Amino acid sequence: MFLPESWCAPTREARRRRDGARIPEDVTFRTKPQIAAELIRDVAALGQVVLDWVVGDSEYGRAGVPATVVWVGAVDPKKFDAAKAGGPPLPSLHSSEFAPDREPTIRTGVKTVTLAAMELLARP
């Protein structure tokens, strides 16, 4: 889990944030490259996936290859509205409690990326 370095500082404010987000004590600051390297090592150690090429967010768009990231809402609109109105907060994307509303999320993502690709490929 990535945490901003300020969330790991020995301050009252950092403790309040961590407690509010229910972040365990043993989660410490690590850079994104450190986290990525650990994840890649873990996946490779399983022997289930062959990694020919890995790219990080700092590589997107380099070497003249355009790239984009598409964010798609993944929560049931009723849960979203309830959270906005002060109800239970929604879990973050990297939370073990994150449970996207699969079918509409996948349908929307596929349509969005397909339309974007069709638009880009139609250009000379």
Q: Which two tokens stand for residue 76?
A: 């049931």
Q: Which two tokens stand for residue 103?
A: 């079918």
pLDDT digits (tens, 9 = 90+) for 86-114: 999 888 877 888 888 888 888 888 888 88
Q: What is the pLDDT of residue 15?
A: 92
Domain-wise residue ranges, the chain:
68-124
Closest CA to 21 of 32, 10, 8: 8
Q: Which long-range contacts (CB under 8 A, 24 or more apart) does 51-56 make?
A: 56/32
Q: Which two tokens stand for residue 15?
A: 């403790």
> What is the model's pTM?
0.43
